[in-house]
Structure 1
Amino acid sequence: MQRLRPYFPHIFSRLASPPTWQPAGFVLLAVLVGGLLTQLSVAEGGMFLLRTAVLLLILVEPMAGLFVALVTGPLGATEAGLLDSGQLYLLLSLLAWVAHGLRDRRLFVPRTFLAVPLAIFVGVTAVSIIDAPSYSFGLQELLKWIEMLVIMLLVVDRVNVWRTQRGGHRLTPLLWLLAALFVAGLSQAALGIYQFALQPDGPEHFLVLGRFYRAYGTFNQPNPFGGFMNFTAVLGLGILLSYLWETGDWRLKSTNLQSLISSFRSRNWLAILSVGLVTAVSLAAVIASWSRGAWLSLSVAVAAMLLFWPRKLWQGVLLLAVGGVLLLGGSQIGLVPATITERITSFSDDLRFGDVRGEDITDENYAVLERLAHWQAAVDMAEDQPWLGVGFGNYEPAYADYALINWPYPLGHAHNYYLNLLAETGIVGLLAYFVVWTAVFWQTIRVIQRTDGWQRGVALGLLGVWTALTVHHLVDKLYVNNIYIHLGALFGLLQLLDNQKQDMVHFG
């Protein structure tokens, strides 16, 4: 790649010898800004200056807009308007990215392993919309996947630019990306724990154990909140597992006390403790969501991570067996609270199939029957249009033609993303979706096998994210409330880990 001209020296050289009109322009701009600030309250003035600073930072480095979009994205469900904060900052980031490309005369699409599977899925779903009942619903859903693809390309391209300008050994952008992901998760986790433990009152239907309210963050619903918190929890857990592996490794290799002390002091304890804190708080938020889907998906995600944590597969299988025995024993002797055990074991009620037309509806079975009724409607849609479905994103507009008598109102989706996708895009769309996730899992496992240190830990965490998402989609849909911005960034992170296996920085 052609070496790029540094941006900051170019700006400073122009400011060092400005035309005669520039000082007057800066003074006029300062006067106008100062006059505007006098008309605003202290809080409004502070927000104006903060947003102005963020805008200028995005113009300098487009990735900054993505970082802000990751943090503000979960606010989308609480904001009104055409563009929520996450979408606005993402749009500014993409515009700045294009502007930088035009300035540097280097507009191109970086080569990534996942670009083709994602593009195929986008193409298939776009075709399914042609005869859909609602173009607006279809385009809204299609845009999410286009965003994921573009965000992945943005991350890869801007990190490549950073490395070209500052040397190929730098991984600073990856660390900033991880920091933004962790800040977004930590802020939601703190809010969720407050809602569960300290909130004086909340939605009555969220009440559990007689005095607590299920955590929901800014998602307005506990289930997607729990799913989102799983992302942060397993990503941090993967990094901690890599640290534990390295700790055991250097202890085995250390032959004397002096080398042990030296290795201990070389650990980056601030980073390790920070990741540990984020992980612990996120796990607490998952529990506070009281979401069976989130709990089950977290359990399966941790199992997948433990399976690939050791270098040899048989060791991972042994580790899983030991963990299963300990968990079963703990539940038998009461170490695992009965309320949690009962809620997890009752999960099978949500996964049973059957015709619910003749079922008697009670307060106890209402939620299960409602879910099953929407599954049944999705299956009927797929039987009607088996190849390309009723149109991507069109489950809700098409629902009226397939609704059961006792369940006339759509929930927005089928509460099983696989049935939902089968109904909307047919067999072709569901196969394209499986191709995407097969490629994602295959690439992630390859990175786990080829990397070391904290980068292997991030790859382990990504495996946990994909597993949690895949399992949770059995009973819900998580492509909501800007979660797809996070997924696009995580896709980009995976591509970078796969492309720089030799570019190592020690986390510990």
Structure 2
Amino acid sequence: MSRDDPGSVLLSFDARAAQGKRVAYMAVYALGAFAIINQGLGVTFLNPIANVWGVFPVFALAWAAMVRRAHGVERSQPAWAKYAWWYVVYTLALVLADLKHPVLALNAWTVDVEYIFVGLLVPLALDAEDTLKLFYGVIAMSMLMGVDGWFQFLIKVPIPSQWLDVGEHVRTRVFTVMKSPAEFGANLELTLPLMLGLFAVDQDKRRRRVYLVGAFVALGALFMTYDRGSWLGLFAAAVVVSAAFERRLLPVLGGIAALGLCVPSLRHRALDLLNPVYFVKSSAGGRMALWQQAFDVMSRNPLFGSGLGYYGGYVATSHSFSAFSDNYYAKVLGETGILGLVLFMAMHVAIVREMIRCVRRSTGGSRLLALGGLTGITAILIHSFVENLFEYNYTASLYYLLVGLLFTWGRSLPEADETRSRWRKARMSDE
């Protein structure tokens, strides 16, 4: 076949587009194993790049998307992308406006928006038929960490005293390769519902068994974190999603909650939230006091806030500007003002709305996967009221990665009109 032969040219285009997809695969797997890779780099001579290597998978996804587009494979961005771009541009404008400390502001901007690009790029770099295999690779990392969590619990791994309330006694709090139980809990509350959804939709029997066993392991590990924010996030999200779309699951959730409360240490940690002393301490110098501080900081410049890097987050604390806000929305409000918080919330509301559309368009096993995705996303958004989750590289990368994969998978679902037609035919056949 000659070089000028159209068939040869088309084959070359297909090969290059496939090469872009292979690069995207590697980037997705690397982001799915973010915590494990980071820990591995940290104990080797590559330790200096442990905190910056995450940018390389982002660039790899961008390259894969450009290669595919250049060779005729065009994919549209999800509907929430416009809100994401507004937030990215707005926060970049705040960086450019900070003439006193531009490097500090740029560092804070990178922490805030780096992994948003993952969610935007995955649908451009991959196809719907790729997603089940990629889900398996990504979720398997959480299963491995779940097993490690059980191991930590069995050997009673030592933990800092500040991880426990005064007078509290527990065997240990598991955190696996992450920095805290809250980070590990966030990972599990995001992936656990997806394990159950993938068990319902995946046709491979071996993977189905792995998902089912992994879900039980992850649920046990989630309890062993003793992280109330993770428990609250997942349980509240599961109740809301079930009440809205699948009420048959509510008794199951009630049973799991009752089983957890039968364990004295779990019951004590959960019910301690209802203790009036907890609220007094929290208001005096705990989370509630920090949340009030966010409003005080924002009130000095209500629309634009104090500027990136000056309040409530990693960069601000490392420069002694403030303490952690322990509420990502309070952090966004203090740093970027009312306008920044509105744009940030609009982006995530759009993500939730798109997932609800996936639920309404899906049937059978696909519906359970869509419900699992919606539950995990909602759990992270609820948990973020009590933790700076989106500042954790492990959490932010996984959240936006799974958002991107879910919307890529959603392309395989029928449009709303076609779904309604299927339901009508099913009802007519039943009658």
TM range (shorter): 0.7 to 0.9
Change (3 A) 1:382 1:288: same
String of CA shifts for 1:177-202, please: whole Å, max 9, x gaps.
20122122112222222222224544
Give the alignment partner of residue 225 of structure 1, picking from 184, 187, 190: 184
* Deviating more after overlay: 192-201 vs 85-94: 85-94
Aligned twin of 2:427: none
1:192 aligns with 2:149: yes
Aligned twin of 2:422: none
Computed over aligned residues only, the root mean square deviation of the Cα atoms, in angstroms, reads: 3.9
Does structure 2 retain, via aligned residues, the 8 Å contact 1:391–1:425? yes
Separation (CA, whole Å) in 1 of partners of 2:256 and 2:71: 58
1:391 aligns with 2:353: no
Separation (CA, whole Å) in 1 of partners of 2:15 and 2:203: 39
Shift of the alpha carbon at 1:146? 4.2
Separation (CA, whole Å) in 2 of partners of 1:125 and 1:68: 27
Change (3 A) 1:326 1:185: closer
Give the alignment partner of residue 64 of structure 2, picking from 97, 108, 111: 97
Does structure 2 retain, via aligned residues, the 8 Å contact 1:151–1:489? yes
Give the alignment partner of residue 114 of structure 1, picking from 55, 80, 90: 80
- How many residues end up aligned between the 2 structures? 397
Separation (CA, whole Å) in 1 of partners of 2:13 and 2:141: 29
Give the alignment partner of residue 136 of structure 2, picking from 172, 176, 179: 179
Does structure 2 retain, via aligned residues, the 8 Å contact 1:69–1:89? no
Shift of the alpha carbon at 1:239? 3.7
Aligned twin of 1:69: 31
Give the alignment partner of residue 235 of structure 2, picking from 268, 276, 299: 299
Change (3 A) 1:67 1:210: same
String of CA shifts for 1:204-247, please: whole Å, max 9, x gaps.
4447975622111222111122112211112113345x56xxxx
Separation (CA, whole Å) in 1 of partners of 2:387 and 2:117: 25
Aligned counterparts, 1:394-473, within 5 A: 394-396=310-312, 410-411=322-323, 413-473=324-384
Aligned twin of 1:477: 388
Aligned counterparts, 1:214-363, within 5 A: 214-240=173-199, 242=200, 268-310=204-246, 316=247, 320=250, 322=251, 330=258, 336-348=262-274
Change (3 A) 1:9 1:127: closer
Separation (CA, whole Å) in 1 of partners of 2:125 and 2:318: 45
Q: Percent identity?
A: 21
Shift of the alpha carbon at 1:285? 1.5
| Secondary structure in 1 matching 2:176 | coil
Aligned counterparts, 1:3-42, within 5 A: 5-6=10-11
| Secondary structure in 2 matching 1:152 | helix
Does structure 2 retain, via aligned residues, the 8 Å contact 1:389–1:423? yes
Separation (CA, whole Å) in 2 of partners of 1:348 and 1:125: 38
Separation (CA, whole Å) in 1 of partners of 2:239 and 2:230: 14
String of CA shifts for 1:232-275, please: whole Å, max 9, x gaps.
112113345x56xxxxxxxxxxxxxxxxxxxxxx9753232111
String of CA shifts for 1:4-25, please: whole Å, max 9, x gaps.
94459969xxxxxxxxxxxxxx
Does structure 2 retain, via aligned residues, the 8 Å contact 1:374–1:415? yes
1:452 partner amino acid: T
String of CA shifts for 1:156-181, please: whole Å, max 9, x gaps.
22324xxxxxxxxxx54101220122
Q: Which has the larger radius of gyration?
A: 1
Query: 5+ residue gaps in structure 1?
Result: 12-56, 161-170, 244-265, 311-315, 355-364, 402-407, 504-508
Aligned twin of 2:285: 369
Does structure 1 retain, via aligned residues, the 8 Å contact 2:21–2:126? no
Shift of the alpha carbon at 1:427? 0.7
Aligned twin of 1:53: none
Separation (CA, whole Å) in 1 of partners of 2:21 and 2:413: 30
Change (3 A) 1:380 1:267: closer
Does structure 2 retain, via aligned residues, the 8 Å contact 1:390–1:398? no
TM-score, normalization: structure 2? 0.78
Does structure 1 retain, via aligned residues, the 8 Å contact 2:282–2:289? no
